[in-house]
A and B are shown apart, each in its own frame.
Chain A
């Protein structure tokens, strides 16, 4: 038994050394990236200093065009939207931003659902590289599981499944990635199919964590006196009703946060050529939509 324990300890030491060394290497190259969604998350958390920030998922990322906002509002702008990441991720980013500075305006693009979805918790893995050095986001990441503090002792774990992107983000091979403009990543496809009718999203039991974290987002803006607008950007399908959007509006109304829903806007519902797919506008669609949001923002700033 003694021999076994001794050999287990030796094995663990070897694994620990490899884990520490490789983890340090991954950390170095992860934060050295100059392109890609991981680089944009790092920028959002650690370096943003722009006047206007957009928060949201892929729909935010592809819908809010930097040039339009910067030119028409004469302000600096950054789009923090990231594919497949919703309210937990966005609130974590906001916490980190507010530790450094207060933006002049926040645009929140609502997408997703308030119902429980394990995948939304799994996707918090995108914040793991920041777990060690950003205590403000830890309790959000800990929603993944109660064991996150232990798992993050590992040097490699926070960078699990990221090595491919780290390599591309460092070597910067021309053409491997669509170039982002201050976070905004354009899409250039054109949707050809006719508009479809989608199922009604019936009332469901909301995930309390999501509600709490969404309310926190709204409260943080209020407490820091940052003007904020919640927007649901255009889609290319019809629906009877959507409980998620209705609930989002209700929560915004409770907190007296302006809420604008573009999902029924006929300028977009009649124009498949403005979409890349049914949920994402292409670059032309993003230009038109950003114009409309700019008008809202101007009105909002005038009323301040």
Chain B
């Protein structure tokens, strides 16, 4: 069930109402059933994978907690990691590594093959696997106690708002919330609805609209001019942002209406003044996951300079691979790691302006440079193959010709959508305490502002846009 489907617009209000009508003691049962129903709308059989992941991490965490012998703790952790990451590998990476390794051997004259599996990638497998694995590591480290209640833990892994595309929650934040008796909170519910409306705007009006242009250009990059490819790449930068941040806003909004606080996942990333800052604003739940469970265990920045650079590169390469079983994602990750290292070597580390800080030329320069570098890396993320990415880059500097517009009205809607998005983001960035439109002190203006956003969604939204990009991860 997609957040942007009519089914979800029926499903969610019913779930939210029934949730508050259910006796607090049994609310977890209701949410667990609703979450599995939500997930089983895609491929019912794949609910077995979530259940397996839940059961394995639950049992291993209990065992880790109950033993005092460090080697046994480690053995249970290892077992949990092998089983969970093994499932992830089988469904997501097996064919990729099979093709890559045996393709390489074949080039060296060694002919060996293993059969590929024709498996459909389970929706959200990378998200819930990382959430469950993170929990086991937290228990192993002693950061949290293992959860004894299997039902509550199962809900932590499968909580429907964030099940298929995050935010990847931490047990320390989310697990205790399932044990609290949630009393309806007006402010929180209103905040949730506002987030959902803005999330829908980002997804349906901006991301899906831009996707029409981006898909038509990136589908055949060899036929397009430099200016067209540059515009398509800029459009993709906004598309991927709004697709994913839109999903996150809807997820956080849904959870808020039911009284749960999920972590912020995006903080206006294109206002970052450096690539390092970008990653503190983009997919925050994943960035911090990699920081806590990969970068710091590798030594983080508490090691020598060269090892620190190595750690950064490894973390970003793994992050790239997490996004997809394709070399283009690995290159995308590597490129982002490379930016960080280069910036460190050159000593370029603009201190982030305080929110509401002054708007000046240095700020604009840093902002544009960061946007250009990040957008360049998106080429590898979006291109259908490595060779397509090279064609895009090559033609960006060599291909003459005018700008391909496609359907004029759709192109105009795309520009309008980006302008509205950036105006709101800029206002939130520079005037966080401002009170215009959405944050007006006059209730009527607030109502009208959100009503107009709903009207724009109805008027210019792409209702046949389909899936969220991050579902495939």
> What is the bound-complex CA distance between A21 and B458, given in angstroms?
13
Minimum distance in angstroms from A235 CB to a CB of chain B: 19
| B193-225 residues at the A interface, CB under 8 angstroms | 193
Who on chain A is nearest to B409 by CB?
A164
B178 within 8 A of A: no
Chain B residues with Cβ below 8 Å from A200 are none
| B373-410 residues at the A interface, CB under 8 angstroms | 408-410
Minimum distance in angstroms from B234 CB to a CB of chain A: 21
Given contacts A4-B184, A4-B186, contact A160 B463 (CB under 8 A): yes
A151-170 contact mask (Cβ, 8 Å, vs B): 1 or 0: 10010110111011100100
Minimum distance in angstroms from B256 CB to a CB of chain A: 12
Cross-chain contact A164 with B6 (CB below 8 angstroms): no
Cross-chain contact A164 with B455 (CB below 8 angstroms): no
Chain B residues with Cβ below 8 Å from A19 are 455, 458
Chain A residues with Cβ below 8 Å from B461 are 160-161
Cross-chain contact A18 with B452 (CB below 8 angstroms): yes
| A128-170 residues at the B interface, CB under 8 angstroms | 145, 147, 150-151, 154, 156-157, 159-161, 163-165, 168
| A163-181 residues at the B interface, CB under 8 angstroms | 163-165, 168
Of B74-82, B261-269, B443-451, the one with at least 4 CB within 8 A of chain A: B443-451
| B417-473 residues at the A interface, CB under 8 angstroms | 447-448, 450-452, 454-455, 458-464
Chain A residues with Cβ below 8 Å from B410 are 161, 164
Question: Which of A7, A15, A157, A165 interacts with B190 by CB under 8 Å?
Answer: A7
Cross-chain contact B408 with A151 (CB below 8 angstroms): no
B20 within 8 A of A: yes
A125 within 8 A of B: yes
Interface size class of B (residues with CB under 8 A): 20 to 34
Cross-chain contact A125 with B448 (CB below 8 angstroms): no
Cross-chain contact B6 with A151 (CB below 8 angstroms): yes
Cross-chain contact B451 with A11 (CB below 8 angstroms): yes
Chain A residues with Cβ below 8 Å from B454 are 15, 18
B49 within 8 A of A: no
Given contacts A14-B448, A161-B409, contact A1 B184 (CB under 8 A): yes
Cross-chain contact A150 with B6 (CB below 8 angstroms): yes
Chain B residues with Cβ below 8 Å from A267 are none
Cross-chain contact B455 with A156 (CB below 8 angstroms): yes
Chain B residues with Cβ below 8 Å from A11 are 447, 450-451
Minimum distance in angstroms from B450 CB to a CB of chain A: 7
Minimum distance in angstroms from A86 CB to a CB of chain B: 16
Count of residues in A whose CB is under 8 Å from the partner chain: 29
Chain B residues with Cβ below 8 Å from A160 are 458-461, 463
> What is the bound-complex CA distance between A156 and B463, given in angstroms?
13
> What is the bound-complex CA distance between A163 and B459, given in angstroms?
8
Minimum distance in angstroms from B15 CB to a CB of chain A: 16
B413 within 8 A of A: yes
| A1-60 residues at the B interface, CB under 8 angstroms | 1, 3-4, 7-8, 10-11, 14-15, 18-19, 22
B47 within 8 A of A: no
Chain B residues with Cβ below 8 Å from A4 are 184, 186, 189-190
Cross-chain contact A161 with B460 (CB below 8 angstroms): yes
| B342-386 residues at the A interface, CB under 8 angstroms | none
B412 within 8 A of A: yes
Chain A residues with Cβ below 8 Å from B451 are 11, 14-15, 18
Chain A residues with Cβ below 8 Å from B464 are 118, 122, 125
Cross-chain contact A164 with B412 (CB below 8 angstroms): yes
Chain A residues with Cβ below 8 Å from B408 are 164
Cross-chain contact B459 with A1 (CB below 8 angstroms): no
Chain B residues with Cβ below 8 Å from A18 are 451-452, 454-455
Minimum distance in angstroms from B33 CB to a CB of chain A: 23
> What is the bound-complex CA distance between A15 and B456, given in angstroms?
11
Question: Which of A3, A118, A163, A165 interacts with B186 by CB under 8 Å?
Answer: A3
Cross-chain contact B413 with A161 (CB below 8 angstroms): yes
Chain A residues with Cβ below 8 Å from B412 are 164
Chain A residues with Cβ below 8 Å from B409 are 161, 163-165, 168
Minimum distance in angstroms from B12 CB to a CB of chain A: 13
Chain A residues with Cβ below 8 Å from B455 are 15, 18-19, 22, 156
5 A–B pairs (Cβ distance < 8 Å), ordered by A: A4-B186, A18-B452, A19-B455, A118-B464, A156-B455
> Lowest 9 A-B CB distances belong to which pairs?
A164-B409, A122-B464, A156-B458, A147-B6, A14-B451, A1-B184, A15-B451, A18-B455, A15-B454
Interface residues of A (CB under 8 A from B): 1, 3-4, 7-8, 10-11, 14-15, 18-19, 22, 118, 122, 125, 145, 147, 150-151, 154, 156-157, 159-161, 163-165, 168
* A-B contact sample (9 more), CB < 8 A, given A1-B186, A161-B413, A161-B460: A14-B447, A15-B455, A19-B458, A22-B455, A125-B463, A154-B458, A160-B460, A160-B463, A163-B409
